[in-house]
Amino acid sequence: FHFQKFKFVILNGGKTCMGVETVAIKSYIEKNYKNISGPEDIAQKLGISYETMRKTFTRSERISPAAYITLYRILVCKNELMHTIKTCQEICYDAGFRREDSAQKTFKRITGMSMLEYRKKQCNEKYDVILLEKNKIVYSPKLNLAHQ
């Protein structure tokens, strides 16, 4: 994914940042969320200043690049909680969070519930019974999942 290939184009009033559309910034985040340590990494990859990128992205998307990264990671966590039997710790690291405790706090702040509460609520609404033990699914009849 090379940003140098993007030309200065404004589509339907969309914002650009030194010739790079915010769509390209979002796309980069969504493809590389695991390895981005902060929005400064994105600006460096694009070859533009962090401030320029931040201001343009925020004006266009009404959210900062840092917040977008965090929300995207939370979305990944939600998906993993509903569709895998991974532990919360594994999910946090797979989503690009560096520390499980900060990921758990961020998840709760944004969703209003802990990761385990979210998994229980989502799974119990979709499936009859789900047994959890130490953050792991032990058995779910409808999912036909068993964790050894």
Residue 60: how many other CB atoms lie within 10 Å: 18
Contact (Cβ atoms closer than 8 angstroms) between residue 25 and residue 46? yes
Dist. CA 18–CA 26, nearest whole Å: 15
Residue 10 in tokens: 């404004």
pLDDT at 117 over 80: yes
pLDDT tens for residues 39-97?
999 988 878 889 988 988 998 889 999 999 999 999 999 999 998 889 999 999 999 99
Contact (Cβ atoms closer than 8 angstroms) between residue 9 and residue 22? no
Token look-up 């709760």 returns: 108
Q: What confidence tier does 5 reach under pLDDT thresholds 50, 70, 90? A: very low
The model carries a pTM of: 0.72
Rounded to the nearest 5 degrees, what angle is found at the Cα of 141, between the Cα atoms of 121 and 129? 30
pLDDT at 121 over 80: yes
Dist. CA 104–CA 135, nearest whole Å: 13
Region class of 21: left (phi > 0), else alpha (psi between -120 and 50), else beta: beta
pLDDT at 6 over 50: no
pLDDT at 15 over 80: no
Residue 142 in tokens: 């409808």
